[in-house]
């Protein structure tokens, strides 16, 4: 597969797919900035899209702002909640349409997702002369998606580079060996004192009186 500096590259990231793959596999978050650099390499980045689902959570705004600062065009869609309580949020169709629209300006399209629903889009764009590359976690990527891509990058092979792990501060157990003090503490109970046993009382043997007959 050909990769050279003059290639024009477009990157399309399915944020939900990557986010939940990292969470379920490694209990970690994805460093999307590093993923973008991996996707582009030494080539020319023309456009980079990040597709997200809004669930009205407090931390979302900060996350979306971070994506924007890393060079992504952030596309948002609200999470659909049905009367049955079911929830749905995906960008399969929207991401495919955007890739087809932008393809004439590009030599290479990099799809960052493991979802097999993108297979028809990849085959279509390949037919029209676009080089199609896929980046995702191998364990959660469609096997067919790996086969048809012109190049597949498995993030799991270098996961420490692409993941952000959160460590909780836990108190370290003490390694000191406890020593016994020879000085009694003030809260120690005094040793019980024994009351000396009394000697047994003496018993008198009754004396028989002899009756003297006169």
Classify 135 as helix, strand or coil: strand
What domain count does the chain have?
Answer: 1
176-186 burial, b at 16+ Cβ within 10 Å, e below that, comes to eeeeeeeeeee
Q: What's this model's pTM, rounded to 2 decimal places? A: 0.75
Q: Is residue 102 part of a domain?
A: yes
- pLDDT tens readout for residues 62-71: 999 999 999 9
> Which of 139-143, 163-167, 186-190 is modeled with the greatest confidence?
139-143
In a domain, 158, yes or no: yes
Does residue 155 form part of some domain? yes
Q: Which domain holds residue 159?
A: 8-52+90-164
CATH of the domain at 152: 3.40.50.1010
102/108 Cα distance (integer angstroms): 11
In whole angstroms, what separates CA 115 from the centre of its chain?
19
How would residue 61 be classed by pLDDT, with cut points 50, 70 and 90? confident
Q: Is 205 part of any domain?
A: no
Q: Which residues contact 151 (CB under 8 A, 6 or more apart)?
A: 1, 3, 131, 133, 134
pLDDT in tens, 21-37: 999 999 999 999 999 99
Q: Is 169 inside a domain boundary?
A: no
Q: Is residue 178 part of a domain?
A: no
Is residue 209 a part of any domain in this protein?
Answer: no
Domain annotation covers residue 75: no
């Amino acid at each position: 597969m050909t990769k050279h500096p003059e290639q024009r590259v477009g990157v399309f990231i399915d944020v939900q797919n990557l986010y939940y793959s990292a969470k379920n596999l490694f209990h970690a978050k994805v460093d999307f900035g590093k993923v973008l650099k991996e996707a582009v390499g030494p080539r020319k980045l023309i456009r980079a899209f990040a597709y997200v689902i809004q669930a009205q959570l407090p931390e979302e705004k900060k996350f979306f702002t971070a994506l924007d600062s890393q060079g992504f065009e952030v596309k948002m869609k609200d999470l659909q909640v049905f009367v049955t309580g079911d929830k749905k949020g995906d960008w399969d169709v929207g991401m495919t349409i955007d890739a087809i629209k932008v393809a004439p300006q590009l030599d290479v399209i990099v799809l960052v997702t493991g979802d097999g629903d993108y297979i028809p889009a990849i085959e279509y764009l390949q037919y029209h002369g676009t080089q199609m590359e896929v980046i995702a976690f191998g364990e959660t990527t469609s096997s067919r998606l790996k086969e048809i891509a012109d190049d597949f990058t498995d993030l799991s092979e270098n996961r420490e580079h692409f993941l952000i792990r959160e460590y909780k501060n836990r108190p370290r157990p003490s390694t000191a060996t406890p020593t016994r003090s020879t000085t009694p503490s003030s809260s120690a109970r005094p040793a019980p004192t024994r009351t000396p046993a009394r000697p047994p009382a003496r018993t008198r043997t009754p004396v028989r009186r002899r009756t003297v007959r006169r």
